[in-house]
């Protein structure tokens, strides 16, 4: 299952590697941790000598020592062990590639900007001077979205518009999650599917771990995630420190509020007793941890704004792991399991929102997807999905099980957008766990 939904990226990398036998080629492979970036690039490059360089946050001189050892292992070439600047090693490697074909993978490449901001610009300059003579394929891999933007997406980044191939590995689609469940847990229930999706977000590494553990039923998934020595406990913190750095405490407080359903700036500020505008801006624009949403057809500049955590796994982590650290520290696993169990209905209702929005987006049938809500009341429509060319759409309210309250919410709010949707053939629905 390591290469589910990865056949096209694998093919593209292998094709680029062939082209590198005539001229230096550069690939960018980005994606959040756990999507299989490293596994993919190592698979694609296994038939050609490959220097694999993992960049950790250490002194440049120590990274030079690591790279020198890897060059000797991969290419049988000895370099001067007194080198303390990476640019000198990169220059020697590119020169070496004039006469021999090999690959250079730099994993967590964005960390080089932290180690020394001049390293990547220097590498790019070396590449430009040697592009026509080199037989090298350079692959820059990174898991930090904000960090990788500084490598190749922003106008002043060193590899902006310089890569021959740009790939972004995403989490598994809903259809893939269903097919995996069908294969490993025939007869799975809607509860099993919504729990797997809600807890992992379709991250291949996390899904794979649950499959290997035989933990795919709802209760087994929960127990596996919160069992003693679970590897999931530290992952949220690890992911976020990679993005926001050591000053993470207040960011965590904001994210914990959002994960628990406190999603407007004013209510978060009231809860934390602090102005948070700058924090929200950085988490949205620099770290890409949250997304700001406004109701469809709201006025420009509307203050009716809600924030959501984009990463499904992080939402789960901030809902259960972060606020219950005291239970984890005291090994009170039964109490933590009770908290998760008692919150199951609310959790399902929240996860349904992500699930159905992703489902309609993956269908490719709708070019406008959003929702509607009032700022001062509980009135809402969870999904508005429109196909503007066919003038058709879906308007829905989500609920784990059909009930009168949800039906009234749908019926009572049908007239709200009547003028905006008057030219559309709208299918009004209650969407439940039975519609997964």
Which sequence spans correspond to the domains of the chain?
7-168, 174-226, 235-342, 352-435
pLDDT of residue 157: 86
235-342: CATH number: 1.10.10
Residue 39 phi/psi, 5-degree rounding, is -60, -40
H or E element that contains 370: strand 368-373
Please state which of the four CATH numbers 2.170.190.11, 1.25.40.10, 3.40.50.300, 2.60.40.10 is assigned to the domain occupying 7-168: 3.40.50.300
Residue ranges in the chain modelled with pLDDT below 50: 1
pLDDT of residue 2: 55
pLDDT of residue 12: 96
pLDDT of residue 5: 85
CA distances from 419 to 215, 422, 423, 424 (A): 48, 5, 8, 10
Q: Are strands 290-293 and 306-309 parallel, antiparallel or unpaired?
A: antiparallel
* Structure tokens belonging to residue 353: 């929102």
pLDDT of residue 249: 84
The whole model's pTM is what? Answer: 0.90
pLDDT of residue 23: 95
- Region of 160 on the Ramachandran plot (φ > 0 left; ψ -120 to 50 alpha; else beta): beta
pLDDT of residue 361: 96
pLDDT of residue 48: 96
């Amino acid at each position: 299952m390591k290469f589910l939904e990865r056949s096209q990226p694998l093919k593209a990398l292998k094709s680029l590697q062939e082209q590198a036998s005539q001229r230096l080629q550069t690939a960018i492979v980005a994606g959040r941790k756990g999507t299989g970036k490293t596994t993919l690039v190592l698979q694609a490059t296994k038939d050609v000598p490959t220097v694999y360089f993992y960049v950790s946050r250490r002194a440049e001189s120590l990274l030079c020592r690591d790279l020198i050892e890897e060059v000797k292992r991969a290419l049988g070439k000895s370099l001067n062990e007194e080198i303390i600047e990476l640019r000198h090693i990169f220059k020697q490697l590119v020169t070496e590639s004039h006469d021999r074909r090999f690959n250079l993978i730099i994993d967590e490449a964005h960390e080089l900007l932290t180690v020394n901001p001049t390293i990547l610009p220097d590498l790019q300059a070396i590449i430009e001077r040697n592009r026509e003579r080199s037989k090298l394929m350079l692959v820059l891999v990174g898991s930090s979205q904000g960090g990788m933007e500084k490598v190749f997406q922003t106008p002043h980044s060193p590899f902006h518009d310089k890569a021959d191939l740009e790939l972004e590995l995403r989490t598994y689609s809903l259809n893939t999650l269903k097919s995996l469940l069908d294969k490993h847990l025939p007869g799975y229930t809607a509860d099993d599917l919504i729990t797997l999706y809600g807890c992992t977000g379709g991250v291949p590494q996390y899904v794979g771990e649950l499959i290997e553990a035989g933990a795919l039923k709802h209760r087994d998934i929960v127990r596996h995630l919160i069992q003693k020595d679970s590897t999931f406990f530290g992952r949220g913190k690890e992911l976020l420190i990679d993005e926001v750095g050591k000053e993470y405490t207040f960011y965590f407080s904001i994210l914990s509020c959002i994960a628990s359903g406190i999603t407007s700036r004013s209510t978060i500020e009231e809860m934390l007793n602090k102005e948070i505008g700058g924090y929200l801006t950085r988490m949205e624009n620099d770290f890409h941890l949250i997304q700001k949403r406004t109701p469809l057809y709201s006025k420009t500049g509307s203050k009716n704004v809600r924030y959501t955590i984009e990463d499904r796994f992080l939402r789960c982590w901030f809902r259960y792991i972060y606020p219950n650290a005291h239970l984890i520290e005291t090994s009170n696993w039964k109490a933590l399991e009770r908290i998760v169990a008692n919150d199951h209905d609310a959790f399902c209702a929240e996860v349904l929102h992500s699930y159905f929005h992703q489902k309609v987006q993956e269908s490719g049938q709708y070019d406008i997807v959003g929702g509607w809500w009032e700022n001062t009341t509980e009135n809402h429509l969870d999904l508005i999905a429109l196909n503007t060319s066919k003038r058709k759409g879906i308007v829905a309210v989500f609920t784990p099980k059909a009930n009168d309250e949800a039906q009234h919410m749908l019926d009572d709010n049908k007239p709200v957008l009547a003028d905006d949707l008057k030219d559309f053939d709208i299918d009004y629905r209650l969407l439940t766990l039975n519609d997964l």
